[in-house]
Each structure stands twice: as structure tokens, then as C-alpha cells.
Amino acid sequence: MAEREQKRKATPARDTEDVAEAPAPSESGEKIKAELDELLDEIDDVLELNAEEFVRGYIQKGGQ
């Protein structure tokens, strides 16, 4: 249990609000945006054309 407590203290406090949603620093933010743009461009080429209609009609029978 002592080990666990130690690890708990070494990690950021769980109830602070700013950790998960803090914006990335701008230089890596640029890189991330460039990567995402590339991904979205690639995906544009394979997206289903009638996707809206398809998703509306996508009905499955229940299973386990």
C-alpha cells in the first residue's frame, strides 16, 4: 500500500481542471494540425459518398 501512495503523490492531482484539456504548445500544435489535415485529406478519398443515407438506414437486429 505504501508503494501505491507514493505513486499517487507522484502523479498530478486528479481534481485539477486543466490537465487533460490544456491546449498543446503552439509549435507541436502546428505539427498536430498538419498531421490531421493530411489524415482528413486522405480520408476524403475513401469516404462513402452516400454516407448520410447509409447511416440512417443502418439498422441491426439485437444480438448478445
Site for other proteins, residues 4 to 43, rule: CB under 8 A: 4, 7-8, 11-12, 14-15, 19-22, 36, 39-40, 42-43
> Is 30 in contact with 36 (CB distance < 8 Å)?
no
Give the Cα separation of 2 and 45 in Å (integer). 54
User: Does residue 52 belong to the site contacting other proteins (CB under 8 A)?
Assistant: yes
At 11, give phi and psi (nearest 5°). -90, 160
Interacting residues toward other proteins by CB under 8 A: 1, 3-4, 7-8, 11-12, 14-15, 19-22, 36, 39-40, 42-43, 46-48, 51-52, 54-56, 58-64
